[in-house]
Structure 1
Amino acid sequence: MKGFGIYKSKKYLQRVLISIMLSMVIVLIALTLVNTYVLEQSVRRNQEQSNLKVLSQIQYNLSYMNEIISHLSNYVNKDNQIAAMLFDQKLPKMDWIRGYNRLQSYMDSSSFLHSIAVYNHTQNEIYATSTPFLLDGGITKAKIRSWLFDPNEPHSTSRLIPVSLEREDGQIDVFAYLVTNSLKPFSRSESAIILYIKSDWVFNSLKKMDAVSSQEGGEIYIADQDGQLFSSDLTQASAGASEKEQIKQLVEKDKRAYSKTSGFVVGSIDKQKHLISYMDDGVRNWTIIYVQSYDKLMKDVRETRIKSIVIAVVFLLIAIGISIWLSYKLYTPIERMLRRIRLQLPDKRGSGQAQPAYEGDEFHLMSDNYMRLSHKLQEISSEQIVNKYYLRKFLTDSSLFTHHDMLELIQKHGLDISVSDEIVVCVLKIDNYEMFDRNTTGTSKKMYSFAIVNIAHEIMSRSYPCEAVEVRGDHVVLIVSRGAEDEKLSFGQVVPLISEIQQTIEHYYNLSLSCGVSDPFQQFPYISTAYNQAQQLCMYKIIVGNKAIITSDQVQPNLTSKQSVIPDIIERRLTEALKKGQMSEAGSELEKAFTMLAKFQYDDMLRALSNLAWAMKNAAAEIANNRLIKLDVDLEYATRMIEEKESLEEMYITLLSLCAKICEGQRPASMERNDMILETIKELIEQKYADINLSQQSIASTVKLTSAYIGKLFKDSTGVSITEYMNDVRLRHAQQLLENDDYTVIDIMEKCGYANPSYFFRLFKGKFGSTPKEYRMKKSIS
């Protein structure tokens, strides 16, 4: 009962469980119903197709029987001995006996004959072979005469006509087949032969096909042109008049509705469902009807349906188990959340008040708790906004407040700042902030700032009363104080705690921080002064590098330094060494300059660095103006470097690299001239390689120098002669043309400046190991 009570209290779990269970139940039931419906339709279609084949075969058998009887009737009609019985006005007894014997011989030779009757219209007499006809005192003869001369029903010739010759119950026992000398319906004015066919012989094939084609034991009927139904079961009148009438109405209704000669209809016969198949026999104007019990046909379907229901019930039980497990699995996170929420809900039991019953499901509880917390958070957020405002105001404009005013504001807003003892201000700045600002989105910046503020406040507040606030988005300020009640507490732990803050931020966010720590002060109006001091101290990371914690004691020499410029002699020696290409002297002077810079105050340091960079830039520009070859140095970077680099060490390395580039370009003038001559020769060869007349002499004439001089200069500088270099250029172009164009080898030779094929082939094979034609063939195959 306790478990049920717990379950009953979990309203959302109930909804989830009921929803999943109902979904599974509906799906399983729908699946079962659809499967059984599809199966029933499939069985019915298969049965209809099977019945159609059976009816087609029956129609064929009836046609074949009619053909056999037609052939026999022709033999009988043309028999001379029987002709006397048909047409003689007075039949002698011997002719009667001979005719009777002849009819009997036909009877003996044809097992399907019941009897044969002959009507002689001149004598108005009927002769027959059956025993009842001869011995019953004229009763059978009267039946034949009554049927034959029925004025309301003229009989067609050469057609099987169902008749009841000996039975009194209305069921047929023979089929009559009239044969006359004309094709018109029979009349009393002409003689006729009547062949009586055993109904068993006609229906025998129907019953056999019924037994073979179906296990359900259907019944076959033949409906004549008047709509009268005759059954294949002659032993009993299995279908009463009402049943036959219902069958006939169902078939005629379906025929009229769809205007077809064969089809299927499902209907009720004596309150039982049946499948009725029918097909018209166009030769005899009959309709063959096959009636089957629908319940028997669908016996397998019912069994399958029961099995499906049993399987569905089994799977339903499994689904219920899975539903319960899945519901609790889905409900577990909600239950955990509810436990946490209940811990935060106000408990009124201690006050003697009963906990009120809660209405609604778990989400209503969460929603109400969320709204309660949201209102509380808005109150806290509003209070925090006010607190952050006053903290920023203290940092920037504390001189506008008196000590007493600030004391009241601190107490009023509950700021965690001691009102009775010393205070220090710490400024935390992100190193390489320019790169951080370029590569970080606005949302990420807010997240980082929020993290730094909270982590810094949490770590520092473990030992000191502390407030943390973000200022201008690029740094965080900590206002750290110590209470007078704890005399042993000093600011000695501030630096280790800041180091812990740096390590934590770097570990979780991969950000490097530098920090400036102001001197302690007691009067609140000095907060702005301490904040500016901490900012200035943070700037001195240019000397100590990133991740520095800087106090005024560490940079005291810089703060008291009187020197503000680099001596002119150092700048002069540096520029002279650059102009002369003396890298070691330039590096020595640059090192002296940076050694002095490290002792300057921050502002003087930046100014001196800027002057030094401009001096180097001017020297490089002067060198570039006086050289024949362009100096490959980015002169503007020397002045931009101060904005991009954050430490003296980085700036020193950058300027030293710039000195190296400038000095590397200071080669002797003769070397510049020779390089220019060599570049000119190479450029001429690249431009005029296709000229057959291009040679060392023509090149010498172009550059206004002797052939021997340029030949020796080129050989000494490159290690190959001008002719060898020229052939190398020409052969490379020939190689490209062979690979990429469809020119002939002779055309390529001429385009590359060769006039002698054998000379060209020899050079090409010497360089590539094959003739031009072989080379092209190999490349096309590969």
Structure 2
Amino acid sequence: MYGIVKKIIMEQNIDSSAQQFRQIQEEFEVANEQINMVATQVILDDICSDWMLAGEARSFNSLDIARIRKQLAVFKNTSSMIESIYIYNGKIDKFLSTDGNYSYTGKAGFSDLGIVEILNDYDNYYSRNLFKRERVIRNSLGTEVTDSVYTYVLNNTQDSQVTSAIVVNLDLTPLFAKVLGMEAMQESQMVIVDGKDEMWAELQNFSDLDMKMDSHLLNLIEGNDGHAETSYDAERYFVSWMHSDKTDWDYLKVTKWDTMFARLLELQKWAFFICAFILLAVAGGSAFSSFSIYRLYGQLERKNFIKNGMKISESNKLKENFLYEFIHKRKTYGNAELTERLEQLGYPMRAGKLFTVLLLQLEDYHSFIEEFGQDGAYDVKYSVRNIFEEIFNMEFHVSGLINRDNTIVFILSAEDGESVDTGRIEGKFREFCDKIKPFGEWTFSLIGSEEFLTAEKIPELAEKLYQVKEESFFYPSNMFLTYERICEEHSGSVNYRKLDLGKLTDTLRGGKDVWEQYQIFAESLECYSSKEYMNAMIWLGVSLVRDMKEFYMTDADQEYTLNHFLAQLAKCDKKVQVDKQFEKVFSNMLQIQESANVKKGVTGKMEEIQEYIQKNYSNMNIALEFLGDEFGVSANYLGRVFKKETGVSVSEYLNSVRLQKVLEGLENTEKPAKDIAQACGFASINYFYTYFRKKMGVTPQAYRQQLRSREK
């Protein structure tokens, strides 16, 4: 009995560890992709790119710098993971940062010495992925403080020198807390080691084991995936580890043996009642059936029944190992061995036998994980695979492999022919979608190909499907897509210079036909890939938010609404979700505009503003910013509305009023022209004389003489 109990403990721990390892890797991949998108948007942004591409002859004043920092803050707010963003221009050797503690300075004076070292020797640090680094901060007292941070760098180099760079620093504490909060991580500790044998992350739920000092444990990760028992300071531990060929990372998890065993003993007490409940539910067709019960029943079935001379659990493990090695690692098999392996999976092999690959993708995977957790997600995906195989095996031969992401890959062949009309596959997929509905409101997409190939070409076709799987972004849920259709409809790169943003912003300010203009804009992008599409839509979102903030004095709630829109936009997995986000933000933006116009009444107060200028023209402090504060509206917005309503700018109108008063003073008094000008609000006498001559064609003295001569 003890041996059986121990074996179950080990299998459960190994399964949960493998799922955790895959989840963590997936979380990092998602984070890496999101941050790459943010960095790309910074490059595409007009304000930021103008600064990053500036040459030595270009100068920036404090207002320019404040405007760029404000724009960087917009990008920072698109993700809660982002701690800070730096942008660097190598031509002028200057850094700008969202962190106010970092001044506008060059490498020599920049406080983050760690990133300076990286940019100075970037070839040795080159990475297009997140990496962990030691951040050395030099404070105002000259003392250096060191901490660890996860960083993403997107840069441009010339002659091995970094000419410009975008640095995004991340706080992954919430992500690590999410992992540590899993039930399977109780009394456990996990270490992730990167391809350079450096500690990438260490997650702890107990502190009495120092794995950094325990070379024995770290040495375990040398070699293949596996598990072992070990002792340390009179405490017994179970260790499992896995190597990822994709990232070249090693994952190692240590769990206190007593904790695992206590859980199993508790489970053992209730085993009789659990089994009785399952039998009653199955026998009575109970409505309480669920994927978790189905998965638990499947575990009992696999452990206790025999098929083809071996336990089903062993048969499934061989199947999964073969499919993983064959499809993902592209292991090469001889013809005889490959035929034998496929026959073990139930494919009747004969000369000329053809196959195709299907990629089943579970959509809205983030919500799915939030609902079930990583452990429960595997149970559901296991049952989804079984149902898919059950339905398709009525007409074809199908075997599937559950992947660590939101996909399951299947190998399909026909019983009665060498190839299959894709219409038959589409019909079975619709049947699958109908069959799965009672278990939950989940949606799927199925990607296949019109090609049917020989067995050795299966990995090559699978790789093609993985390359285009993200393009299901454009299509409705529960739809069968082909690789050929996707490649035909979505390719190429967006030319941002040809995107007509002006029409949409003008329409938005006008408040009419906004959605129609948005659809025209979106439709112009649908021929590109989903990544290109999303980059362009985020660029659009950032541009509209920036334009809104420049035009109106948004309050804290409105700022939050606009920033939240950008954060939600970056999370969209489908085009329809993008459309919903823009539809919602357009409504919010129109409300902001309406509120501003009603509250501030700028458009209706043009006469009042003009009267104010006519009464207070002698105040030298009057300027666009002064009037904005006086009437409670953004200076930029006031300036644009004033010119639209009057045909001239605020400064032109103000100077024209002052000039008229100067002319009256020259005609009616004998005061010096400069005294009259100062009394009328001209702060600069040189500017007054230049302006007067430009408008009147003569100097003030000549103008007075002309008046006097006419009077005689």
Task: Give the TM interval when normalised to the shorter protein.
Answer: 0.3 to 0.5
Structure-2-length-normalised TM-score:
0.38
Who wins on radius of gyration, i.e. which is larger? 1
Higher RCO structure (Cα 8 Å, ≥6 apart)? 2
More strand by share: 2
When the two structures are superposed, what TM-score results if normalisation uses the length of structure 1? Answer: 0.35
